[in-house]
Amino acid sequence: MVKVITYGTFDLFHEGHYRLLQRAKELGDYLIVGVTTEAYDKTRGKLNVVDSLVTRIENIRKTGFADEIIIEESQGQKVNDIRKFHIDIFAIGSDWVGAFDYLKDYCEVVYLERTKNISSTMLRAQNSPIQRIGIIGTGRIAARFIPEARLVSGVSTQGVYNPHTESAERFAERWEINAYASLEEFYGAVDAVYIASPHETHYGYIRDALAHGKHVLCEKPMVLQKGQAEELFSYAKEKGLILFEGIKTAYCPGFHKLLGIACSGTIGSIRNVEACFTKLENVANRELTDRVYGGSFTELGSYVMLPIFKIFGKEFSEIRFDTIHDEKGLDIFTRACFRFPTGIATATCGLGVKSEGRLLVAGTKGYVVAEAPWWKTSYFEVHYEDAGRVEKYSEIFLGDGLRYEISDFLSMINGNSSSEFKLTRGESVAMAEIMERFLEEER
Ligand code: C2G
């Protein structure tokens, strides 16, 4: 008798899961399915699991493919199960290719092709909130999005669009999703769009996606003009759609904890915020070759403005930019200095100058400090006049951290607006205004 085992969360059970179980069963005579517990999913960073363990087990049972269902509770359990149940074949979807090769010492490992199209008819039939996401753009950030999105239950990355069809096809093949040659076809296949194209193309794509009735998650900087941001937010509202700017720091749990502590009174009244983010960029990359929209402030400015607006609000009385340019005239280091009614702030970023990237929030009684990469906040300290008194805080930050914003985007689509405060529309508009002023001065 050939014994096969597979594992998964199987949340919001869909045809991808069904087909996986069907083919796993066909590999042998006896199929064991391991279903992850909520606690295990939490430790491996899977977010938004909706169905209870009991419901997920019941959905697997109903398929009739599983001869036995077990619970997966922890990392490392797979090897023990394989030995305990005398497993011949370990099967899993191809989104995990390579990840389970270590099991080849114990049994045969088979990666079954993942199901690309989660059809809307099936989702409607089961009244499931799964959102099919399409990606516009095929750059580095788009490639980071996919593995992160797979860890958010309730979204399925369905396809990609890029006017350069060859890039789209290469990307689609790498990530086992569909490539669409036309935007009409693309919009027809998805419920929501993630825009990861060059900055200056965001506005056009957002408008178009909203016009097609799609929710939009757009990479930062969402747009480069205040008027465009205002127009798009009101258009989204009119259409009953979510428009969401993806500044990942805004959604990461550690950054929230930091803001909460900084604003709790423990460091007194906040008088100064200094945020710095530098990343030495390859001189051949778009960020350092695009004379009009490239440079450090358009690339990193959103991150460094974020804590300033979160703490002091949007009503600054003065702003001044100081920029260092390279020989081509490109911004390789910029410092924006703000004056607010209750304090001052600096937002510093660089692609061609390396500095100590830290976030410092100074108050009348003490200060909060988070070292680089504070934009993926996992640790920070609170210091006081008494140098011996230091409070240390840490918080979970998993993978690339995009999963947090994807998860909040999904909650908002599903009608839960409790995460809206993390980055308000007003804050996005204010950031677009700063980008606009900066670009005007650069010209
Ligand atoms: N799957 C698929 N096609 C999809 C979606 C999922 O074939 N469109 C497969 C996955 O590859 C996996 C199974 O369905 O083999 C269950 O998927 P999930 O519920 O997302 O669970 P996952 O996080 O992949 O579990 O121990 C847990 C496992 O390591 C992974």
Closest CA to 149 of 75, 50, 87, 217: 217
Are 23 and 91 contacting, i.e. CB atoms less than 8 angstroms apart? yes
Indicate the pTM of the whole model: 0.93
Confidence of residue 118 (pLDDT cuts 50, 70, 90): confident
Burial class of residue 86 in the structure, from the number of CB atoms within 10 Å of its CB (0-12 exposed, 13-18 middle, 19+ buried): exposed
- Centre of ligand 1 to C-alpha 21, Å, is 10
pLDDT score recorded for residue 65: 98
CA distance 321 to 131: 41
Angle in degrees, CA 377, 382, 387, rounded to 5? 140
- Centre of ligand 1 to C-alpha 246, Å, is 26
Task: Give the tens place of pLDDT for each residue, 31-42.
Answer: 999 999 999 999
- Centre of ligand 1 to C-alpha 95, Å, is 8
CA distance 342 to 230: 27
Query: Is 10 close to ligand 1, i.e. is its CB under 6 Å away?
Result: yes
Q: Whose CA is nearest to atom 6 of ligand 1?
A: 16
- Centre of ligand 1 to C-alpha 67, Å, is 19
Q: What is the DSSP letter of 386?
A: S
| Structure token pair of residue 216 | 């939009």
Task: Give the tens place of pLDDT for each residue, 150-180.
Answer: 999 999 999 999 999 999 999 999 999 999 9
pLDDT score recorded for residue 129: 78
pLDDT score recorded for residue 437: 97
pLDDT score recorded for residue 443: 85
Kindly report which listed range (114-128, 187-201, 250-264) carries the lowest average pLDDT score. 114-128
| Structure token pair of residue 416 | 């839960």
CA distance 381 to 346: 20
- Centre of ligand 1 to C-alpha 151, Å, is 10
pLDDT score recorded for residue 237: 97
Ligand 1 pocket mutation pick from 4, 5, 6, 9 by most atoms within 8 angstroms of CB: 9
Q: Give Cβ neighbours of residue 364 (< 8 Å, ≥ 6 apart).
A: 267, 268, 269, 271
Kindly report which listed range (68-77, 101-110, 126-135, 371-380) carries the lowest average pLDDT score. 126-135
Query: Is 92 close to ligand 1, i.e. is its CB under 6 Å away?
Result: yes
Are 100 and 82 contacting, i.e. CB atoms less than 8 angstroms apart? no
- Centre of ligand 1 to C-alpha 150, Å, is 9
Q: Is the pLDDT of residue 389 over 70?
A: yes
CA distance 57 to 17: 12
Task: Give the tens place of pLDDT for each residue, 316-359.
Answer: 999 999 999 999 999 999 999 999 999 999 999 999 999 999 99
Q: Give Cβ neighbours of residue 300 (< 8 Å, ≥ 6 apart).
A: 277, 278, 279, 349, 350, 351
Quickly count: other Cβ atoms within 10 Å of residue 162's Cβ.
24
Q: What percent of the chain has pLDDT over 90?
A: 91
Q: What is the dihedral of CA 36, 60, 112, 138, to 10 degrees?
A: -70
CA distance 414 to 411: 5
Confidence of residue 128 (pLDDT cuts 50, 70, 90): low
Q: Give Cβ neighbours of residue 121 (< 8 Å, ≥ 6 apart).
A: none
Q: Is the pLDDT of residue 121 over 90?
A: no
Q: What is the dihedral of CA 324, 330, 333, 338, to 10 degrees?
A: 80
Report the amino acid identity of residue 244.
Answer: F
- Domains, the chain, in order of start with CATH, read 3-112 (3.40.50.620), 120-247 (3.40.50.720), 253-396 (3.30.360.10)
pLDDT score recorded for residue 417: 87
**Three-class SS of residue 30?**
strand
Are 379 and 359 contacting, i.e. CB atoms less than 8 angstroms apart? no
- Centre of ligand 1 to C-alpha 70, Å, is 16
Angle in degrees, CA 323, 328, 333, rounded to 5? 25
Query: Is 304 close to ligand 1, i.e. is its CB under 6 Å away?
Result: no
Query: Is 114 close to ligand 1, i.e. is its CB under 6 Å away?
Result: yes
Are 176 and 95 contacting, i.e. CB atoms less than 8 angstroms apart? yes
Q: Is the pLDDT of residue 125 over 80?
A: no
Quickly count: other Cβ atoms within 10 Å of residue 427's Cβ.
20
CA distance 424 to 438: 21
CA distance 382 to 362: 10
- Centre of ligand 1 to C-alpha 363, Å, is 47
Residue 298 phi, psi (nearest 5): -65, -30
Query: Is 176 close to ligand 1, i.e. is its CB under 6 Å away?
Result: no
Closest CA to 111 of 120, 119, 103, 123: 103
Separation of first and last alpha carbons in the chain: 73
Are 153 and 48 contacting, i.e. CB atoms less than 8 angstroms apart? yes
pLDDT score recorded for residue 127: 61
Mean pLDDT over residues 254-277, rounded? 97
Query: Is 51 close to ligand 1, i.e. is its CB under 6 Å away?
Result: no
Q: Whose CA is nearest to atom 12 of ligand 1?
A: 93
Q: Give Cβ neighbours of residue 251 (< 8 Å, ≥ 6 apart).
A: 401, 404, 405, 407, 408, 419, 422, 423
pLDDT score recorded for residue 126: 65
Q: What is the DSSP letter of 414?
A: T
- Centre of ligand 1 to C-alpha 198, Å, is 32
pLDDT score recorded for residue 87: 98
Confidence of residue 103 (pLDDT cuts 50, 70, 90): very high
Task: Give the tens place of pLDDT for each residue, 4-47.
Answer: 999 999 999 999 999 999 999 999 999 999 999 999 999 999 99
Q: Whose CA is nearest to atom 7 of ligand 1?
A: 114
Query: Is 297 close to ligand 1, i.e. is its CB under 6 Å away?
Result: no
Mean pLDDT of the chain: 95
pLDDT score recorded for residue 282: 87
Are 157 and 193 contacting, i.e. CB atoms less than 8 angstroms apart? no
Ligand 1 pocket mutation pick from 114, 119, 175, 398 by most atoms within 8 angstroms of CB: 114
Confidence of residue 270 (pLDDT cuts 50, 70, 90): very high
Q: Is the pLDDT of residue 287 over 90?
A: no
